[in-house]
């Protein structure tokens, strides 16, 4: 009977890819940001000059916090 035909596996895989690909891209972007935690701080002898022209919105903005 036509009504009882099984969902093709490929359809299930495609559906997961539809949400998985953008999600994976987002996680990769976030991980690039998170890696900064593991970068050693600059030597204390060279005080960092505060930048006044940020090239892009602060990286913290990418980190969703209170949801």
Partner 1 sequence: MGALSFFDRSRIVAKPGFSRWLVPPAALSIHLAIGQAYAFSVFKKPLNYLIQVQTAGGGLKALPASMDSPNPHDWSFPALGWIFILAIVFLGLSAAVFGKWLERVGPRKAMFASAVCFGSGFFISALGVQIHQLWLIYIGYGVIGGIGLGIGYISPVSTLIKWFPDRPGMATGMAIMGFGGGALIGSPLARNLMDTFRTNNDLGVMKTFLVMGAIYFVAMMFGVITVRIPAPGWKPEGWTAPAQPKALVTTHDVEVNTAFGTPQFWLLWIVLCMNVSAGIGILEQASPMIQELFKGRITAVAAAGFVALLSLFNMGGRFIWSTVSDYIGRKNTYFVFFILGGILYYLAPRTGISGLNSVPLFVIVVAVIVSMYGGGFATVPAYLKDLFGTMEVGAIHGRLLTAWSVAGVVGPVLVNYIREYEKNHGVPLADSYSTVLYVMVGLLVIGLIANAMVRPVNSKYWYNKAEDVNKSVVPA
Residues that bind partner 1 (CB under 8 A): 3-7, 11-12, 15-16, 18-19, 22-23, 25-27, 29-31, 33-39, 41-42, 44, 48, 50-67
Helix (H) or strand (E) holding 32: helix 9-34
Paired tokens of 10? 């490929």
Q: How far is the CB of 45 from partner 1 (least distance, A)?
A: 12
Which DSSP state fits 8?
P
Paired tokens of 43? 């030597």
Q: How far is the CB of 24 from partner 1 (least distance, A)?
A: 10
Q: How far is the CB of 11 from partner 1 (least distance, A)?
A: 7
∠ CA 42-29-25, nearest 5°, is: 160
């Amino acid at each position: 009977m036509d009504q009882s035909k099984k969902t093709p596996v490929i359809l299930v895989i495609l559906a997961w890819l539809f949400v998985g690909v953008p999600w994976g891209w987002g996680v990769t972007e976030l991980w690039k940001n998170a890696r900064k935690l593991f970068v050693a701080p600059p030597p204390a002898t060279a005080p960092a000059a505060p930048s006044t022209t940020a090239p892009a919105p602060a990286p913290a903005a990418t980190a969703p916090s209170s949801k």
